Structure 1
Amino acid sequence: MKYNLLLVDDEKPIREKLINNTNWENEGYQIFSASNGEQALNIIKEKGIDILVTDIQMPKISGMNLIEKSRKNSGHLKVIVISGFAEFEYAQKSIRFGVNDYLLKPFRSEKLLEVVNKAREELIKEKNNEQRLAVLRGEISNYINENKLNTIYNWLIDDQFFQYQSLIMDRVDLNAVLKRGSKDDILKTVNKIIEELKSVNLNKEKLYVVLNNLILESFKIIKDLDYKAEDLMNTIDKNKMESINYDNLKEIEIMLKEFLLRLHDLISFNPGDKNAEMINEMKEYIAANYQDGITLSEMARKFNLSTGHLSNLFNEETGESFSDYLNMIRLNKAKELLKTTNDKIYQIADQLGFNDAYYFSSWFKKQVGASPTTYRDNINLL
């Protein structure tokens, strides 16, 4: 089975590299391309795109607007954002639109293939989950029919309900938010859940099941950290759970926020030493892998943090953004190679993870004020 991949960039040279530097057909993809957001949106509507790779700054419809509008046409669409250095912090904000990954220009074609394949794996996982849910619904349906149970149980086999609940679980990364997210991350996650619930019409029984499954999933995550069941149960306000009105989403929102914040407090650690230790680990990882086009979301997954929390934590501990730090590492290495080796400019570009020497030269001149060749020729003066 081939997956439909849409590559969007308004700059023709970059778009052609996205298309031609990888043998997409051999990798199992049907390729579509667009030069602006409006064209891309029409392709998404007509072709049933599975994975979208898009630039941020584009004419007619921006990358952000494209993502937002695309979500309305395809709930399962996977989105990868590519952006220049200046746009990177802005691109991170697209997380609220369900972006799956980010790539900071320049990046290797191998890195793009890696994140696209990762998005495909997530799609396959979702489809497998839906198939398992379909089997489970069938078994429950047979049991209800064979035992002539009351129709009150019919919500258990409601296709729309099961698909919707599965979608919530896929979109909300409770694991990262609970284990390493900030309190603000938790509040934003609950807001996201509530917004999802507002968009559909679920009765009291269905809301009850969604809420309880979220609680059980949260317990499962924390139990992996060796907490006792008694400690977990103490995070539930029993009186509030029994008195909550499941017709009132505001009450559900308040209860869920209080519950998740209690869990967060249960496993919270002294941030000082732990955070400093984690940042040092991140710096070591960046130093060893900067040439591979490291992304913020990749780092977040590796260190089990939400992207927002990682970005804030890195800034607090180092005084600079993740993208600034990564840029500095690459620039220092570029200067070192220009000073200490006789490697050609294209060889240095390749060692640093740039797709071509022209882009590297342009980037270097923007950072230093001189081209790599000029820098090398005037090293003592500079």
Structure 2
Amino acid sequence: MEFKLLLVDDEKPIRKKLINNTDWAGEGYQIFAAANGREALDIIKEKGIDILVTDIQMPKLSGMNLIEEARKNSSHLKVIVISGFAEFEYAQKSIRFGVNDYLLKPFRSKKLLEVVNKARDELIKEKNDEQRLAVLRGEISSYINDHKLNTIYNWLIDDQFFQHQSLIMDRIDLNAVLKRGSRDDILKTVNKIIEELKSVKLNKEKLYVVLNNLILESFKIIKDLDYEAEDLMEIINKKRIEALDYNDLKEIEILLKEFLLRLHDLISFSPGEKNAEIISEMKEYIAANYQDGITLSEMARKFNLSTGHLSNLFHEETGESFSDYLNMIRLNKAKELLKTTDDKIYQIADQLGFNDAYYFSSWFKKLVGASPTTYRDNINLL
């Protein structure tokens, strides 16, 4: 199956590298490219793009506005944001637009392919989930018909109910929220669930099934972490659920928040020494892999935390942002290589994970105030 990939950057040299440095056709992608957000939006509307890779700062329509508009045309669109050092922290705030991943310039072409393939795998999983949902509906329908059950059970296979339940599970990631999210992430997720329920009128039987499925799914996620059933059953308040007024969404909201927060507390790490240990491990990982284009979202997945929570934790423990720290590591290594080796500028650029010497020189001059060549020639003065 071929997937449609749109690459957007207003800088022509960078756009050409995005297009030409990877054998996209060989990887199973049909490639489209755009020089600005407005052009990109037209392509998304006309071609049915599956995966969008876009810069943040662009003329005519910014990357953020492009994503927001594109979402109106395709809820299944996967989005990868690429950004320079200056706007990276801003780019990370784009999570509310449903961004799937981030890449901090500069990055290797293999890193871009890696995150694009990850987005493709998510699309495949969603399609398989939809197919499994269709199979489940068919099985339930056959059971109802074979056993000549009362038509009161037909709501179980009602199109609207199944579609809505599927949408809720697609639009929230319980696994990520429970395993890697903060308490605030959980509260926001519940608010999102309630907003989804408000948008469609479901009777109390359907609400009952939606709520119970959410609870069962949550238990399944925590059970995968090897917690005992007894630990989980202590968290749920059976009497509260039995007494719940399914006509009152506010009551459902309060119960869901209480339940998910208690689950989160069960598996959340203790602060203090554990936080310092995580950041220490992160620093070791960065020191060993800084040349591979590490992203904060990649680190969040590795350490089972939400991107926002890890960003705050890193700043609290180190006093600086993740992107500042990563740039400091690369810059110190660049200075060391310029001082202690006779390697050419393009060789040093390659060792640091830059795709070309020009971009490396521009990045170095922006941070140091002098080009790599000038720095090397005037080390004693500088």
Identify if the C-alpha distance between structure 1 residues 38 and 247 changes in structure 2 by more than 3 Å, giving closer, same or farther: farther
> Partner of 2:25: helix, strand, or coil?
coil
Matched with 2:249 is 249
Matched with 2:199 is 199
- 1:165 CA drift (Å): 2.6
- 1:300 CA drift (Å): 0.9
| RMSD between superposed Cα atoms in Å | 1.6
Matched with 2:51 is 51
- 1:160 CA drift (Å): 4.2
Matched with 2:270 is 270
Matched with 1:182 is 182
Q: Distance in 2 between matches of 1:53 and 1:110?
A: 14
- 1:54 CA drift (Å): 0.9
> Partner of 2:236: helix, strand, or coil?
coil
- 1:238 CA drift (Å): 2.9
Matched with 1:284 is 284
Matched with 1:234 is 234
Matched with 1:316 is 316
The alignment status of 1:62 with 2:69, answered yes or no, reads no
Matched with 2:158 is 158
Identify if the C-alpha distance between structure 1 residues 208 and 232 changes in structure 2 by more than 3 Å, giving closer, same or farther: same
Post-superposition Cα deviations, 1:66-101, rounded to whole Å, max 9, x if no partner, equal 212212211111110111111111111111222110
Matched with 1:122 is 122
Q: Distance in 1 between matches of 2:68 and 2:211?
A: 26
Matched with 1:31 is 31
- Please say if residues 180 and 300 of structure 2, whose CA atoms lie closer than 8 Å, have aligned partners that are also in contact: no
> Partner of 2:27: helix, strand, or coil?
coil
Structure 1 range deviating more: 222-231 or 141-150: 222-231
> Partner of 2:10: helix, strand, or coil?
coil
Q: Distance in 2 between matches of 1:97 and 1:342?
A: 46
- 1:226 CA drift (Å): 3.3
Q: Which amino acid aligns with 2:77?
A: L
Matched with 2:293 is 293
Matched with 1:209 is 209
Post-superposition Cα deviations, 1:190-223, rounded to whole Å, max 9, x if no partner, equal 2222233333343333322222111112112222
Q: Which amino acid aligns with 2:359?
A: Y
- Please say if residues 98 and 171 of structure 1, whose CA atoms lie closer than 8 Å, have aligned partners that are also in contact: no
Identify if the C-alpha distance between structure 1 residues 41 and 174 changes in structure 2 by more than 3 Å, giving closer, same or farther: same
Q: Which amino acid aligns with 1:327?
A: N
Matched with 1:362 is 362
Q: Distance in 2 between matches of 1:18 and 1:200?
A: 42
Identify if the C-alpha distance between structure 1 residues 314 and 129 changes in structure 2 by more than 3 Å, giving closer, same or farther: same
Structure 1 range deviating more: 33-42 or 240-249: 240-249
Post-superposition Cα deviations, 1:289-327, rounded to whole Å, max 9, x if no partner, equal 111111111111111111111111111111111111111
- Please say if residues 56 and 91 of structure 2, whose CA atoms lie closer than 8 Å, have aligned partners that are also in contact: yes
> Partner of 1:5: helix, strand, or coil?
strand
Q: Distance in 2 between matches of 1:32 and 1:107?
A: 20
* 1:332-343 equivalent positions in 2, closer than 5 A: 332-343=332-343
* 1:6-17 equivalent positions in 2, closer than 5 A: 6-17=6-17
- 1:269 CA drift (Å): 3.5
Post-superposition Cα deviations, 1:121-147, rounded to whole Å, max 9, x if no partner, equal 111111111111211211111111111
> Partner of 2:80: helix, strand, or coil?
strand
- 1:342 CA drift (Å): 0.7
Post-superposition Cα deviations, 1:130-175, rounded to whole Å, max 9, x if no partner, equal 1112112111111111112122222322344334433433432323
Q: Which amino acid aligns with 2:381?
A: L
Matched with 1:142 is 142
Percentage identity across paired residues of the two chains: 88
Q: Distance in 2 between matches of 1:86 and 1:93?
A: 14
Identify if the C-alpha distance between structure 1 residues 313 and 6 changes in structure 2 by more than 3 Å, giving closer, same or farther: same
- Please say if residues 338 and 376 of structure 2, whose CA atoms lie closer than 8 Å, have aligned partners that are also in contact: yes
> Partner of 1:305: helix, strand, or coil?
coil
* 1:371-382 equivalent positions in 2, closer than 5 A: 371-382=371-382
Taking structure 1 as the reference length, what is the TM-score of the superposition?
A: 0.95
Matched with 2:76 is 76
Which sections of structure 1, spanning at least 5 residues, go unmatched? none
Question: Aligned pairs, how many?
Answer: 382
- Please say if residues 130 and 163 of structure 1, whose CA atoms lie closer than 8 Å, have aligned partners that are also in contact: no
Q: Distance in 2 between matches of 1:197 and 1:287?
A: 46
> Partner of 1:25: helix, strand, or coil?
helix
- Please say if residues 41 and 66 of structure 1, whose CA atoms lie closer than 8 Å, have aligned partners that are also in contact: yes
Q: Which amino acid aligns with 1:78?
A: K
- Please say if residues 8 and 37 of structure 2, whose CA atoms lie closer than 8 Å, have aligned partners that are also in contact: yes
Identify if the C-alpha distance between structure 1 residues 343 and 201 changes in structure 2 by more than 3 Å, giving closer, same or farther: farther
Q: Which amino acid aligns with 2:263?
A: L
Structure 1 range deviating more: 201-210 or 17-26: 201-210
Q: Distance in 1 between matches of 2:203 and 2:96?
A: 26
Q: Distance in 2 between matches of 1:170 and 1:341?
A: 52
Identify if the C-alpha distance between structure 1 residues 195 and 13 changes in structure 2 by more than 3 Å, giving closer, same or farther: farther
Identify if the C-alpha distance between structure 1 residues 175 and 4 changes in structure 2 by more than 3 Å, giving closer, same or farther: same
- 1:185 CA drift (Å): 1.7
- 1:51 CA drift (Å): 0.4
